[in-house]
């Protein structure tokens, strides 16, 4: 018994080392910008760079639009599939998983071929059109996570009976979706939203090939041109992701009525 416990501690420690040693090393390296002493010079350089602010701001904005579009697309879809097309569920689920097996490079070349300036819908012809295209691409990359999260959220409520109850009280589809379905899957939607945020902030391929000033390409550019700043940037990116994870935990605990779903 005692030795089993000892071994599990050893395994845990090995795992922690495996995960944290590179991070610690990177963090340590990012502090060495000044010769002979630790300093936050690299961080100051990164934060002072106007391109950091521009690209980070652009990516945050794109993430917010992607989240909004993803919610508008996924919540009604999941609701409708659960309510009216339960037989289609495995098929739809399969489609939402496709982004995990199709590389983004394939998708972005498809986009460029389909929507280039000499195509029937020249989205790449303008910055706004390309932004739109990028947002669609991000939505697709986030689809597996968003769909799963919302689907799991809807599983905890009796969608059909609640919908029928609302209908018998005179509610139409928009009321049902906005006042019943969305509030009841809000926690799931938010966890999907934070995952989407993390994906969009770090994404490189789509943004680079569509030539948009996003944070991912900036990180890569930084990595090939500077010594200490990329490490500082990576630590910042990790920080953002972890804050997102923490927020998922927080909203899951904060919602008041969710206990009703676990009766």
Partner 1 sequence: MAFLEISRLEKSFGPLHVVRDFNLDIEQGEFVSLLGPSGCGKTTVLRMVAGFETPNHGAIRIEGRDMVRQRPNQRKIGMVFQAYALFPNLTVAQNVGFGLKVAGVPRREAADRVAEMLALIGLPDLGGRYPFQLSGGQQQRVALARALAVRPRVLLLDEPLSALDAKIRVSLRTEIRAIQQRLAITTIFVTHDQEEALSISDRIVVMNGGIAEQVGTPFQIYNHPTTKFVANFVGTLNTLPAEVVDPSAGIVRVGGQTIRLPESLERAAGTRIGLALRPEALHLGTAEGREVVLPATISDVQFLGSVIRVRAETQGASVALDTFNRADVPPPQVGSPAQISFSARDVIVLEH
CB of 137 to partner 1, least distance (A): 33
Q: Could you give the dihedral angle defined by the CA atoms of residues 78, 82, 86 and 90, in that order, rounded to the nearest 10 degrees?
A: 40
Cβ 172 to partner 1 shortest distance, Å? 6
Looking at beta carbons only, is 12 or 260 nearer to partner 1? 260
Residue 74 Cβ vs partner 1, minimum distance, rounded to whole Å: 19
Neighbours of 111 (CB within 10 A): 21
- C-alpha 226, offset from chain centre: 27
Which structure tokens are listed for 254? 């904060």
Smallest distance, Å, CB 254 to partner 1? 13
Q: Which is nearer to partner 1, 113 or 259 (CB)?
A: 259
- DSSP string across the chain: -HHHHHHHHHHHHHHHHHHHHHHHHHHHHHT-SSTTS--SHHHHHHHH-HHHHHHHHHHHHHHHHHHHHHHHHHHHHHHHHHHH-GGGHHHHHHHHHHHHHS-HHHHHHHHHHHHSTTSSS-GGGSHHHHHHHHHHHHHHHHHHHHHHHHHHHHHTS-HHHHHHHHHHTT--HHHIIIIIIHHHTHHHHHHHHHHHHHHHHH--HHHHHTT---HHHHHHHHHHH-SSHHHHHHHHHHHHHHHHHHHHHHHHHH-SGGGGGG-
CB nearer to partner 1: pick between 87 and 259: 259
Nearest distance from C-beta of residue 244 to partner 1, angstroms: 24
Binding residues for partner 1 (CB under 8 A): 157-158, 161-162, 164-172, 175, 179-180, 183-184, 256-257, 259-261, 263
Residue whose CB is less far from partner 1, 2 or 253: 253
CB nearer to partner 1: pick between 65 and 173 = 173
Q: Give the residue with the Cβ less far from partner 1, 126 or 160.
A: 160
Nearest distance from C-beta of residue 176 to partner 1, angstroms:
9
Give 171 or 220: the residue with its C-beta nearer to partner 1. Answer: 171
**Shortest distance (Å) from residue 255 CB to partner 1:** 9
């Amino acid at each position: 018994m005692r030795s089993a416990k000892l071994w599990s501690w050893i395994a845990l420690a090995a795992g922690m080392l495996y995960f944290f040693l590179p991070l610690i090393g990177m963090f340590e390296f990012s502090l060495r910008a000044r010769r002979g002493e630790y300093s936050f010079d690299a961080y100051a350089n990164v934060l002072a760079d106007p391109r950091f602010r521009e690209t980070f701001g652009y990516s945050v904005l794109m993430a917010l639009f992607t989240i909004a579009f993803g919610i508008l697309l996924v919540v009604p879809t999941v609701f409708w599939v659960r309510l009216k097309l339960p037989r289609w569920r495995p098929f739809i689920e399969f489609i939402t998983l496709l982004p995990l097996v199709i590389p983004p490079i394939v998708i972005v070349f498809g986009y460029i071929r389909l929507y280039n300036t000499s195509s029937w819908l020249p989205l790449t012809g303008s910055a706004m059109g390309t932004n739109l295209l990028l947002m669609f691409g991000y939505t697709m990359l986030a689809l597996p996570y968003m769909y799963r999260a919302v689907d799991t959220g809807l599983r905890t409520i009796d969608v059909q009976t609640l919908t029928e109850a609302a209908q018998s009280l005179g509610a139409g589809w928009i009321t049902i979706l906005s006042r019943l379905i969305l509030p009841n899957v809000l926690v799931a939607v938010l966890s999907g939203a934070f995952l989407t945020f993390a994906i969009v902030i770090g994404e490189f391929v789509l943004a680079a090939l569509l030539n948009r000033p996003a944070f991912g390409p900036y990180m890569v550019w930084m990595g090939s041109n500077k010594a200490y700043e990329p490490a500082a940037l990576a630590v910042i990116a990790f920080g953002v992701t972890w804050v997102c994870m923490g927020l998922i935990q927080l909203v899951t605990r904060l919602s008041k009525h969710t206990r009703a779903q676990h009766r």
